[in-house]
Amino acid sequence: MADPSKRHKRRQRRGCRSRRSGRCCACCARCACCSTWLLTSMIPVLSGSRGTVIGMISSRVRAPRYGMGRAGGKLIVDGRDDTVFRKAEIAFKPATRAQKRSLLELLDATREIYNAALQERRDAYRHPSRTRIDLFQQFGHITHLRGVRDDVLAWGIQPLRWAMRRVDEAFTAFFRRVNAGETPGYPRFKGQGRWRTIGYDETTGWKLNLEGTKKRPRPHLYVQGVGVIPLSKPAVRQLRRYAERGGVATTLTLTRANREGCSWRASIGFRDVAVEQLPVAQPGSVVGIDRGVAVLVATASESAAPESMQGAVSSGLMHHAGELVARLAGIRAEIIALQQDRSGTKKYGRRWRQLSRRIARLHRRVSNIEENWARHTAKTLVAEHEVIVLEDLNLQGMTKSAKGTTEEPGKNVAAKSGLNRALAQAAPARVARWVTVRAESAGLGRRIWLVNPAHTSQQCSACAVIDATNRITRDTFYCGACGLYEHADINAARNIRARGLAAERAWQEAGRPGLVRPKPRLRRRKEQPPQAPSQAA
């Protein structure tokens, strides 16, 4: 058992105020007086045998991409999947006050497990022998909670394992960033304001019933320790779409939508969902997509008219994007006004909290509108075209700050900050994500290529001459070599399509190889030795 910190020892000698008042959570929490983590009484660092884990260790592994690297294009969807993994997200409210209290208690229990597992790894690393503790050893330590924290075990073992798995993923990402030379970001302890999710990686501890029972004819979701959560009609329709296509509910994630716990979201994962096999409106068509800030989506296909500034953009998509920008501009102006009002109030006061809730509500509204637009745009693109070509954008590098260091300060910091903000609002990755999801679900040989985005906005789509002066304004492209006059985003979309066509031809000449789909690794239950038959008395 690890010793508490020196500061906590000094507080104990003088008499901890929180212990005198009975508020010190000595079992896996922070001391209310001196803020020291008191975690060792919950999960002691013991050297023992590994616990037996039943079920899937690694979930759906992303398949390696086929292609010739960034320069030649990368194939990420080949349309040969028979089944896919899909998640349905629904909103719900606790049926009773007791259920709301149970959800918050379950959330706090998983947070305690996360902090305890993190403290255990920190103590093991600081030990002179540098003891190594892996995920499955920590799984085995859950049994030591019997008789010590039975209130935590009452929620079942799956949410506790899920919290420990989050610690393991945090350390894996930490060491990956260290090896890559990035900002490490050591895993931190989680307070109540920074822990909002409960997860189940298996079907133990919860059950989804879409048909109802004699006792409860209404469709519902049952969670161990929480009770029965009734589902609304829109939620049932959304869940039945996947269930009717052969999907099996395997994972559950509960997320607190607000601090009070009055509103929640449930994300249910379905495996083996059959693809829809949607026919293509234009068989064999290839479309290039340019994602930007001013024009969110610009497309170019073989049916585009070269002489038209808007020829390569579907009028419906452009009109929809224009309405989207105008609609979001008003909401963002309201957010700025509320933020200015909040700046004149006392932080964490009553008025400050009211304004913060209103601002958060508007931010969620903006996100929902953008998500809905991206989903419908992707649906239209996938329904009309067989091959979709996107840019392989390095969004992390594009939104990197230009501030620099004290020795080497950056240039045009304010302008770069505004560009980063505009890129974050445009969210180009959202469109790519939904296009990928729709293409996987549609099947019938649909393919998505990622191509190198270098010089797509400076290269002429007619004569292939690259010149930075061709981009006269933000929206106008004029080639000094051949005289092409084009919308800049349309020209970029055509260049993207041309690079995708080259990658498509090379792929077909190579025999149309498919993507490698590794099967998930399973950990089987240990086989028990055969027992001798009992003799009859």
Instruction: Please indicate whether residue 515 or residue 103 has the higher confidence score (pLDDT).
Output: 103
In degrees, to the nearest 5, what angle opens at C-alpha 325 toward C-alphas 343 and 428? 95
Question: Is pLDDT of 274 > 50?
Answer: yes
Helices (H), 344-449: 350-384, 395-398, 413-426, 428-442
Mean pLDDT, to the nearest integer, of 468-496? Answer: 90
d(CA 174, CA 41): 27
Counting every residue written for the chain, the total comes to 537
Pairing status of strand 387-391 against strand 447-451: parallel
227 phi, psi to nearest 5 deg: 110, -160
> Which of 57-61, 157-161, 214-218, 302-306 is predicted least confidently?
57-61
Encoded tokens for 337:
């006004």
At 15-55, the pLDDT tens digits run 444 333 333 333 344 444 443 333 333 433 322 322 222 22
Give dist(CA 453, CA 436) in Å, integer. 18
Quick: pLDDT tens for 345-375.
Answer: 999 899 999 999 899 999 989 988 989 988 9
Residue 434 pLDDT class (50, 70, 90 cuts): very high
Closest alpha carbon to 132 in 145, 142, 120: 120
Cα dihedral sign for 378, 384, 385, 390?
Answer: negative
pLDDT tens figures, 124-160: 888 877 678 889 999 999 999 998 899 999 999 999 9
User: pTM value?
Assistant: 0.77
Least confident segment among 98-112, 379-393, 506-520: 506-520
Q: What is the mean pLDDT of the chain?
A: 80
The 3-state DSSP class for residue 56 equals strand
- Nearest Cα residue to 85 out of 101, 64, 62: 62
Q: How confident is the model at residue 105 (pLDDT cuts 50, 70, 90)?
A: very high
376 half-sphere exposure, CB direction, 13 A CA radius: 11
Of the pLDDT bands very low, low, confident and very high (cuts 50, 70, 90), residue 284 is: confident
Query: Degrees (nearest 5) of the Cα angle 288, 289, 291?
Result: 155
pLDDT reported for residue 59: 29
76 versus 295: the higher-pLDDT residue is: 76
How far apart, in whole angstroms, are the C-alpha atoms of residue 172 and residue 50?
A: 20
